[in-house]
Structure 1
Amino acid sequence: MSKIPGVKPPELKSLVRVQDRLTFLYAEHCIVNRSDNAITISDQRGTVHVPAATLSVLMLGPGSNVTHAAISLLAESRSTCIWVGERGVRYYCHGASLASSTHLLEEQAKLVSSERSRLKVARKMYEMRFPNEETAGLTMQQLLGKEGTRVRRAYERESRRTGVQWSGRSYKMTDFDEADLINQALSAVNTSLYGVVHAVIVSLGCSPGLGFVHARNERSFVYDIADLYKADITIPLAFDLAALGVEDVSAAARKALRDRMTDGKFLQRCVRDVRYLLLPDSEVAEEDVQVEDITTQIWAGAAGYSDAGHNFGKGVVDGEEF
């Protein structure tokens, strides 16, 4: 049998962990290619080399052309590649996971499938936002009301701090330019935040669609996790940009958010928060990505799990004959 052609992918244990990576890179109207172990981004101004193994997510906007070699390198590095619309306001699809185990995904699915455990996770999310308040006995309606008040006060606080007039959150997904400057800034920074959170979630092997507060959307869990950071990160940042009156608010928002995330070690924080929400306390301190070789298994009902790759037409599994 001939060898499989192409370069053999690196082992997971040799890859950079998700919390140690760069946050995101947005590219548009360019050609994305590969040079050795780097991604190259070329336009009329020249070519930039980007180390693929340390990149968390590459956001490809309109006018970007990507080669097979570039996508192959991103996949080998488990760097998430997402295709987005103009200014990053629409999301189309994403790449592969960094995780080799479905442990977090199974925990997520188990927790979201029970109303009691789902409410427990939702309360943990609100406890993270209200560190000095008791939330254990509150219903979801009460929690949502407290969250609405908290976000409204955050907008009002930042408006007073920066002097930017605030008349409410107003925007159209189909027309970015119709909104005023502060709403454009909020849309831009939140979109980039969603991209990074999405990259963390899929890198850990979780489902972006299985949310605990948000529901029935392909990125419900992305919105759940992103909401943990808006009052601290994106809302103040958007008001700062509006106060400066930047000309290209979408580009300025991406650059400012990337700088803020790098300084604040955002990826480490996001990984830690996802694990805290989904795992029992005894497992939270363990490594976020299991790098050991994990054999694919088959669930045999009451007999438990058995290694895949065998014909069970005639044989014995856990003492039972088939």
Structure 2
Amino acid sequence: MLPSIKPLPMKDRISMVFIQYGQIDVQDGAFVVIDQNGVRMHIPVGSVACIMLEPGTRVSHAAVHLASTVGTLLVWVGESGVRLYASGQPGGARADRLLYQAKLALDDDLRLKVVRKMYEFRFGEPAPQRRSVEQLRGIEGVRVRETYKMLAQQYKVNWRARNYDRSQWDAADIPNRCLSAATSCLYGITEAAVLAAGYAPAVGFIHTGKPLSFVYDIADLFKFETVVPLAFRIAAKSPQQPEREVRLSCRDLFRSSKLLGRIIPTIEEILAAGEIKPPEAPPESVLPAIPNAETIGDAGHRTQ
């Protein structure tokens, strides 16, 4: 009898793969993409953090089950990956970490501590004293807009503002298209890391009210050292296919910077700023009848 599949940790995976115009299935135990001519291409699904499914892609039940088993996030995106429609959870939020995250987010004082730590991590300096979350968000917004302007000047890009209409994507200017494609890639691998760590993507601290609020919080910590300069550098060349160039460059950047290996430890560091411990299970709680098996995967990966 074959041993059960054990997910690889996020830090040991490649970041992402884009698939379009193909049928995804499991054949002979392998995760494969089959094109219109019947040609098969094997995808090492267990060593990928997330797979971006573009229009024209169909995926079988067996393929979704295998991706879930090995802890790989499936993300349904628009053409060139610039819109995110839905995602399939590769694991499940651990109750202890979910309660820990929720307690930090629901307590105003604890939430402010976490937001201040995010500010310090992002800008390399302590957050201004006696500022609310809303005030820190405003200060952050000003600094972000100034950073966009600075990078546009550095790469000699004609920059007006971060603005585009999703319903008229092709009408957007190249810098905005590059930035959207780049941040979409970053959000994909960040969501995979958040889920693998056992946390809830929707429970944010700065961002709220969105299914990926916490993903945006964490992705913003890395955005301006990774994908934003990359997007401006590519926009300066005015490429014919900006989204394709961006996502290929993001793939290489994520690998060279070992970003996946940094995200989960950063999440732990940021939440630790709340200075509370994850809650213990109540003494009267019922323990699982079948304990979870040991796995080499991350804390949030499902076990068989």
Class of the TM-score when normalised by the shorter of the 2 chains: 0.7 to 0.9
Contact 1:26/1:61 (<8 A) preserved: yes
Whole-angstrom CA distance in 2 between matches of 1:195 and 1:68: 21
Q: 1:59 to 1:177 in 2, by over 3 A?
A: same
Contact 1:127/1:135 (<8 A) preserved: no
> Displacement, 1:198?
1.1
Is 1:231 the counterpart of 2:211? The answer is no
DSSP-derived class of the 1:227 partner:
helix
* The one of 4, 9, 27 aligned to 1:10: 4
Q: TM-score, normalised by structure 1?
A: 0.81
Aligned to 1:218: 211
Whole-angstrom CA distance in 1 between matches of 2:93 and 2:224: 33
Is 1:33 the counterpart of 2:30? The answer is no
* The one of 124, 135, 138 aligned to 2:131: 138
Contact 2:77/2:84 (<8 A) preserved: yes
Aligned to 1:91: 84
* The one of 294, 303, 306 aligned to 2:286: 306
Larger radius of gyration: 1
Aligned to 1:22: 14
Aligned to 1:163: 156
DSSP-derived class of the 2:208 partner:
coil
Contact 2:68/2:91 (<8 A) preserved: no
Deviation track 1:273-303 (CA, whole Å, cap 9, x = no partner) reads 111122479999xxxxxxxxxxxxxx7x6x5
Contact 2:84/2:184 (<8 A) preserved: no
Aligned to 2:238: 245
Q: Which amino acid aligns with 2:189?
A: V
> Displacement, 1:86?
2.6
Q: Which amino acid aligns with 2:140?
A: E
DSSP-derived class of the 2:18 partner:
strand
Q: Which amino acid aligns with 1:305?
A: S
Q: How many pairs are equivalent? A: 286
> Displacement, 1:266?
0.6
DSSP-derived class of the 1:171 partner:
coil
Whole-angstrom CA distance in 1 between matches of 2:215 and 2:169: 21
Whole-angstrom CA distance in 2 between matches of 1:278 and 1:164: 37
Is 1:193 the counterpart of 2:165? The answer is no
DSSP-derived class of the 1:170 partner:
coil
Q: Which amino acid aligns with 2:285?
A: Y
Contact 2:22/2:56 (<8 A) preserved: yes
Is 1:76 the counterpart of 2:52? The answer is no
Is 1:42 the counterpart of 2:34? The answer is yes
> Displacement, 1:112?
0.7
- Identity within the alignment, %: 33
Whole-angstrom CA distance in 1 between matches of 2:143 and 2:239: 27
The CA RMSD measured in Å over matched residues stands at 2.6
DSSP-derived class of the 2:198 partner:
coil
Whole-angstrom CA distance in 2 between matches of 1:171 and 1:281: 36
Contact 2:10/2:260 (<8 A) preserved: yes
DSSP-derived class of the 1:228 partner:
helix
Q: 1:233 to 1:92 in 2, by over 3 A?
A: same
Q: 1:37 to 1:158 in 2, by over 3 A?
A: farther
Q: 1:279 to 1:9 in 2, by over 3 A?
A: farther
> Displacement, 1:83?
1.6
Q: Which amino acid aligns with 1:178?
A: A
Whole-angstrom CA distance in 1 between matches of 2:222 and 2:28: 37
Is 1:270 the counterpart of 2:263? The answer is yes
DSSP-derived class of the 2:16 partner:
strand
DSSP-derived class of the 2:221 partner:
coil
Whole-angstrom CA distance in 1 between matches of 2:215 and 2:252: 21
Deviation track 1:28-63 (CA, whole Å, cap 9, x = no partner) reads 111212244542223358443221111111111111
Is 1:153 the counterpart of 2:146? The answer is yes
Which of 226-235 and 40-49 deviates more?
40-49
Contact 1:156/1:166 (<8 A) preserved: yes
> Displacement, 1:106?
1.8
> Displacement, 1:225?
1.0
Whole-angstrom CA distance in 1 between matches of 2:184 and 2:268: 23
Q: Which runs of 5+ in 2 are unaligned?
A: 291-304
Q: Which runs of 5+ in 1 are unaligned?
A: 1-6, 285-298, 311-322
Deviation track 1:77-105 (CA, whole Å, cap 9, x = no partner) reads 11111222233233233223446843322
Whole-angstrom CA distance in 2 between matches of 1:274 and 1:24: 20
Aligned to 2:302: none
> Displacement, 1:68?
2.5
Contact 1:23/1:196 (<8 A) preserved: yes
Whole-angstrom CA distance in 2 between matches of 1:136 and 1:53: 45
Whole-angstrom CA distance in 1 between matches of 2:158 and 2:250: 22
